[in-house]
């Protein structure tokens, strides 16, 4: 990628030098990309380089190995959402985890579309449970796109596709009511929305879904190493829990 001009979602911004910043952003066709923004810490650029914002991004590099120079123009700002603690926690987590685990310069068009949908939902959904359900589905897609998809279509014990009510924390496979008998306390409850079933999930259902995706994100993608990132997610889940109460 010697040069690239595209829409992009800002995922992380890190100060570099006295005035610059290194930007990581998710694009529709090139996946996660990085670039150095000259003057990225200036008064003009700070409102543009906010995680969650949609920008018109231009990257230019002399070689494939060189960190590209980047310019960004604001297309849609999500900065007003950061005034609300729950929404701010969600944006912080979903952009941070995207920047942390995706390999650079590999296309993930489904993830770009899903991340856009999550951020849009945070802005317009009338209740937290609706955008939190979209967030859980995004985490499930992250796992699948990176090779750690969960088997939620049939029971891992019997092969049946009906009455799927639990997930095995060891295998990531669904377990039916019948197969789970006597072992329910060792399993995770599987809410229907996580299998793409119609209906408006309760916030309790959403929290069950986030418990499933959180376990496998930590184990298979974060591998327990990025503790600061996990603290961000724990803060979000705690705020959602308090919203239930």
- Over residues 37-74, the pLDDT tens digits come to 998 889 899 999 999 999 999 999 877 667 899 999 99
Percent of the chain with pLDDT over 70: 97
**Same domain flag for 56 and 134:** no
Residue 197: its pLDDT value, please? 74
Average pLDDT on 148-177 reads 96
Which range of residues forms the domain containing residue 142?
A: 83-244
**Same domain flag for 97 and 149:** yes
**Same domain flag for 32 and 111:** no
**pLDDT range class, residue 199, cuts 50, 70, 90:** confident
**pLDDT range class, residue 198, cuts 50, 70, 90:** low
**Same domain flag for 121 and 212:** yes
**Same domain flag for 56 and 151:** no
Average pLDDT on 191-195 reads 93
Average pLDDT on 89-118 reads 96
Q: Which of 77, 95, 122 is the last residue of a domain?
A: 77
**Same domain flag for 32 and 92:** no
**pLDDT range class, residue 3, cuts 50, 70, 90:** confident
Average pLDDT on 98-126 reads 94
Q: Which of 77, 104, 133 is the last residue of a domain?
A: 77
- CATH code of 179's domain: 1.20.1440.120
**Total domain count, the chain:** 2
129-133 own/partner pairs: CB under 8 Å, 24+ apart: 129/200, 129/201, 129/202, 129/203, 129/206, 130/200, 131/90, 132/90, 132/203, 132/206, 132/207, 132/210, 132/240, 133/193, 133/201, 133/205, 133/206, 133/209
- CATH code of 67's domain: 2.40.50.140
pLDDT beyond 80 at 223: no
**Same domain flag for 235 and 135:** yes
Q: Which of 77, 112, 128 is the last residue of a domain?
A: 77
Residue 1: its pLDDT value, please? 52
Residue 29: its pLDDT value, please? 94
d(CA 175, CA 160): 9
Inter-residue contact 136 to 210 (CB < 8 Å): yes
Predicted model pTM: 0.93
**Same domain flag for 52 and 125:** no
């Amino acid at each position: 990628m010697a040069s690239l001009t595209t829409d992009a979602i800002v995922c992380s911004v890190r100060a570099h030098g006295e005035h610059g910043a290194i930007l990581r952003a998710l694009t529709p066709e090139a996946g996660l990309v990085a670039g150095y923004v000259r003057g990225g810490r200036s008064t003009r650029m700070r409102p543009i380089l906010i995680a969650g914002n949609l920008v018109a991004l231009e990257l230019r590099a002399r070689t494939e190995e060189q960190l590209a120079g980047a310019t960004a123009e604001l297309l849609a700002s999500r900065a007003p959402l950061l005034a609300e603690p729950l929404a701010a926690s969600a944006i912080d987590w979903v952009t941070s985890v995207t920047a942390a685990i995706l390999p650079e310069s590999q296309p993930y068009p489904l993830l770009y579309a899903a991340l856009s949908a999550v951020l849009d939902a945070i802005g317009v959904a009338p209740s937290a449970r609706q955008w939190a359900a979209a967030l859980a589905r995004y985490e499930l897609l992250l796992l699948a796109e990176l090779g750690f998809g969960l088997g939620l279509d049939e029971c891992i014990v019997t092969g049946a596709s009906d009455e799927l009510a639990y997930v095995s924390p060891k295998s990531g496979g669904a377990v039916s009511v019948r197969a789970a008998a006597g072992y329910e306390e060792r399993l995770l409850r599987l809410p229907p929305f996580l299998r793409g079933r119609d209906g408006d999930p309760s916030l309790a259902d959403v929290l069950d879904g986030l418990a499933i995706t959180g376990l496998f994100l930590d184990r298979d993608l974060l591998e327990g190493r990025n503790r600061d990132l996990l603290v961000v997610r724990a803060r979000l889940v705690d705020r959602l829990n308090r919203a239930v109460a």
